[in-house]
Chain A
Amino acid sequence: MTRCFFMAFITTALIGPVTAADMAPETLVQSVATEVLGIIKNDKDIQSGDAKKVVALVEEKILPHFDFTRMTALAMGLNWRKATAEQKAQLTDQFRTLLVRTYSTALTKYRDQTIEYRPLRAQPGDTDVTVRSLIMQPGAEAITIDYSMEKTSASWKVYDVTVAGISLVTTYRDAFTQEVRKAGVDGLIKRLADKNRQLETKGG
């Protein structure tokens, strides 16, 4: 037994762990989802809504697989070009904070639903794919969750999540356009920062 373990250890050390860079997009999504949901299932604090713990989990396990600059650019639409480099960085930062909070709130609501993955519709050379999954829940229609992913130099990165047909990124586009029109790019940055501060003080 010990020897088996040791062998396994040596082999892993030699070959090196399978990193995110080598993973196919659907494998990446599945392994991250399985890991994160497994942690939530066994963590009473998270289930009772411990915001700090969930945010930490999201930051550690989920964030590295998201391309927030791309997400922010898509949510900004044509206004992205109006922003300076510094504004872009600030926007991305604030938008990331907001999305992490939203995602965290959603995760605390997770109970015992099961996930099914639908086959990937992609050609071998594709650099942009959608990984499609179904959340099955008894007595109600299944909810689709699709991850739009792009191959970057490092690995596959998620740039949009679509829940029941509703895209996380484009849903923000009108609100962003409206804010920029009213108060400029700085106005939008301020608005996002205010929203984040407000969520933080609420402890939500």
Chain B
Amino acid sequence: MRMVSAADLRLSFSRRRGAAALAPLVLLALLGGCASAGPVNPRDPLEATNRAVFEFNDGLDKAFIKPVAQAYRAVLPQPVRTGVRNFFGNLQDPWIGVNNLLQGKVEAGLTDWFRFATNSTIGFGGVMDVASGMRMAKHNEDFGQTLGVWGAPPGDYLVLPLFGPSNVRDGLGLIVDAYGYGGFWLPRLIDPPHRVAWRNSLSALDIVNLRASLLDTESIFEAAALDRYSFLRDAYMQRRRNLIYDGDPPRERLRDEEEPVAPTSLDTEPSRWIMAHPTALGVARYSGPLATAHAVQVVEPTVPANYAGVLAAGGRAATPRGEDNE
């Protein structure tokens, strides 16, 4: 019980700090006017501003990026596009490795560097992903996830201009990622005088190729979403939580309509989880080349049995969602 309340306190503290840093945005949101009583999602208090940025990004995409991506896909055959994806994926691997090490996953981190070494050489500069064929699995890590594993709460949801869905933690992570990314260092190493031009050209190609690969997914998204903004927001939050747990989050029982909403966010869980399972870092979460999916056994933390205590404490997380209106 004490642990949970402490975690709640920490959560609200850092939320406030996040909000202070974003005071101008808050002001904007207030000026925009909040018609309804409180946000639908308590983790998106800046919804009005976020929606405006979302519309801006969407407009930019429709007018410019998507048409270019469609032309790109029409002109270049699939193998070429896969090669481009592999090339940029390879440039990410060293930084992914650093993040795995920072998260205490030594084997996974070393795998990422072996991937980079392998693909950069016999994979023709990363165009071919030969490492995956050698059972060196590709990972998905970034500094925002590392912060999350260290126990940093996500903070308020943010839609960033150009970059899209994010939050305070992942936005900060993005800044660090920009300096860790291989695409930042490559031009500096091979052609320092023209590094800016190289970097811009590489980024443009990366974005267009990525956008082209999302054209199919987009049609599913368009068919599914009732409200594209909130659909993307909720998907983003769930996806990030899942990534921080490397695709194997503790099971979250879906709440039935009768029960109050249990703490849904990752917020403080990983640090607690790691404290409870110190050996898990290197052993149970090992996902290197030798681990088959079957060998990975993750001990699940139990959902606080004293959940009633959280309710009594009146923690923010205990506020039943959807009933805070009217």
Known A102-B223, A199-B223: A141·B139 in contact at CB below 8 Å: yes
A174, B264: Cα distance in complex, Å: 13
Residues B255 and A109 in contact, CB atoms below 8 Å apart = no
A77, B216: Cα distance in complex, Å: 30
A137, B298: Cα distance in complex, Å: 24
Residues A171 and B257 in contact, CB atoms below 8 Å apart = no
B63 to chain A, nearest CB (A): 22
Residues A78 and B89 in contact, CB atoms below 8 Å apart = no
Interface string of B129-142 (1 = CB under 8 A from A): 10011000111100
Known A177-B322, A195-B226: A169·B220 in contact at CB below 8 Å: no
- Residues in B with CB closer than 8 Å to A204 are 219, 223
Judged by a CB distance under 8 angstroms, whether A10 is at the interface is no
- Residues in B with CB closer than 8 Å to A192 are 226
Judged by a CB distance under 8 angstroms, whether A8 is at the interface is no
- Residues in B with CB closer than 8 Å to A106 are 220
Q: Is the interface of A mostly helix, strand, loop or mixed?
A: helix
Judged by a CB distance under 8 angstroms, whether A144 is at the interface is yes
Judged by a CB distance under 8 angstroms, whether A87 is at the interface is no
The interface size bin for chain B is 35 or more
Residue of chain B at shortest CB distance from A178: B40
Residues B254 and A160 in contact, CB atoms below 8 Å apart = yes
A72 to chain B, nearest CB (A): 10
Residues A174 and B230 in contact, CB atoms below 8 Å apart = yes
Residues A148 and B254 in contact, CB atoms below 8 Å apart = yes
A98, B222: Cα distance in complex, Å: 11
- Among A118, A130, A171, A199, residue most surrounded by chain B Cβ atoms (within 10 Å): A171
Q: Is the interface of B mostly helix, strand, loop or mixed?
A: loop
Residue of chain B at shortest CB distance from A133: B293
Residues B243 and A165 in contact, CB atoms below 8 Å apart = yes
Judged by a CB distance under 8 angstroms, whether B62 is at the interface is no
For B220, give its contact among A109, A139, A148, A164 (CB under 8 Å). Answer: A109
- Residues in A with CB closer than 8 Å to B258 are 81
Residue of chain B at shortest CB distance from A137: B132
Interface string of B220-258 (1 = CB under 8 A from A): 100111110011011100110111000101010111111
29 sample A-B contacts, Cβ–Cβ < 8 Å, listed by A number: A73-B257, A76-B257, A77-B255, A77-B257, A101-B223, A102-B224, A105-B223, A105-B224, A109-B216, A109-B220, A118-B293, A118-B294, A128-B253, A130-B251, A139-B82, A139-B132, A142-B137, A148-B254, A164-B247, A165-B241, A165-B242, A165-B249, A166-B239, A171-B235, A173-B322, A175-B231, A176-B226, A177-B40, A179-B226
Residues of A whose CB lies within 8 Å of any CB of B are: 73-74, 76-81, 98, 101-102, 105-106, 109, 116, 118-119, 121, 128, 130, 134, 138-142, 144, 148, 159-160, 164-167, 169-179, 181-182, 191-192, 195, 199, 204
Q: Which 9 pairs from chain A and chain B are nearest by CB?
A: A165-B242, A80-B257, A102-B224, A175-B226, A139-B129, A174-B230, A175-B227, A78-B322, A177-B322
